[in-house]
């Protein structure tokens, strides 16, 4: 039996699509790893009050203060902590501050979304949008907002009425479910 050109092309196309899907999952894992590292960096520079900045035991080194990077309920962080992260990543201070703030909001104010991010159920970009939109909400409002019945948080907001098996699939995966870590 001979192999036709169309069979070779189909096999090559499937291999390319598989590599693209693998790259997407690797990118999602890298985004999660970066967000987790930003939160850990912030937690290393957590302060109890605005008067007590992370001064390594010295009183008022360079008069460093505390910043509230996240919304109400997120911990206070030493004022200069985002600078070191920004320098290491080659980012602006504003970008590093925003990443740390969104990560703190997700972990301390939106723990269910944080868990979904760690499980690769919700992309980091969607979770960061949710953190940004909820940053001004007080704690009691965050707890009373519920998802729609049968809904799931996904790339385009709440997906209501989508069967579980469909919601876990990405276009182009030829019916394969998302891998779970």
Helix count and strand count (H, E) for the chain: 7, 5
- pLDDT number for residue 163: 42
Length of the chain: 181
- pLDDT number for residue 56: 52
Residue 171 DSSP SS3: coil
List the single range of 4-8, 35-39, 151-155 with lowest mean pLDDT.
Answer: 151-155
Give the residue among 96, 157, 148 at the shortest CA–CA distance from 123: 157
Angle between helices 93-104 and 5-44 (to 10 degrees): 90
Q: Say if residue 168's pLDDT is above 50.
A: no
Distance of CA 8 to the CA centre of its chain: 39
168 burial (CB, 10 Å; 0-12 / 13-18 / 19+) is: middle
Give percent of the chain above pLDDT 70: 62
Q: pLDDT tens digit string along 60-74?
A: 555 667 778 888 888
Q: pLDDT tens digit string along 118-129?
A: 999 999 999 999
- Beta strands 66-67; 76-78: pairing state: antiparallel
Residue 145 DSSP SS3: coil
Q: Say if residue 162's pLDDT is above 50.
A: no
Which residues have C-beta within 8 Å of that of residue 163, sequence separation ≥ 6?
Answer: none
Give, in order, the Cα–Cα distances in Å from 85 to each of 14, 34, 37, 40, 45.
Answer: 40, 11, 10, 11, 11
- Look up the pTM and report it: 0.67
| C-beta pairs of 16-25 under 8 Å, 24+ apart in sequence | 17/172, 17/174, 20/172, 21/170, 21/172, 21/173, 21/176, 24/170, 25/120, 25/179
């Amino acid at each position: 039996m001979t192999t036709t050109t169309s069979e070779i092309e189909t096999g090559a196309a499937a291999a390319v699509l598989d590599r693209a899907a693998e790259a997407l999952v690797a990118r999602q894992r890298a985004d999660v790893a970066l967000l987790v590292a930003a939160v850990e960096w912030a937690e290393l520079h957590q302060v109890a009050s605005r008067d007590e900045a992370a001064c390594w035991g010295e009183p008022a080194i360079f008069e460093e203060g505390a910043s509230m990077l996240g919304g109400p309920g997120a911990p206070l962080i030493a004022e200069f902590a985002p600078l070191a992260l920004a320098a290491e990543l080659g980012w602006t201070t504003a970008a590093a501050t925003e990443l740390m703030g969104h990560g703190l909001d997700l972990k301390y104010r939106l723990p269910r979304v944080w868990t979904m991010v760690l499980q690769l159920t919700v992309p980091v970009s969607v979770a960061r949008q949710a953190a940004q939109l909820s940053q001004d909400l007080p704690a009691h409002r965050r707890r009373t907002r519920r998802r729609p019945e049968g809904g799931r948080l996904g790339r385009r907001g709440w997906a209501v009425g989508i069967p579980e098996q469909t919601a876990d699939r990405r276009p182009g995966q030829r019916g394969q479910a998302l891998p779970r870590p």
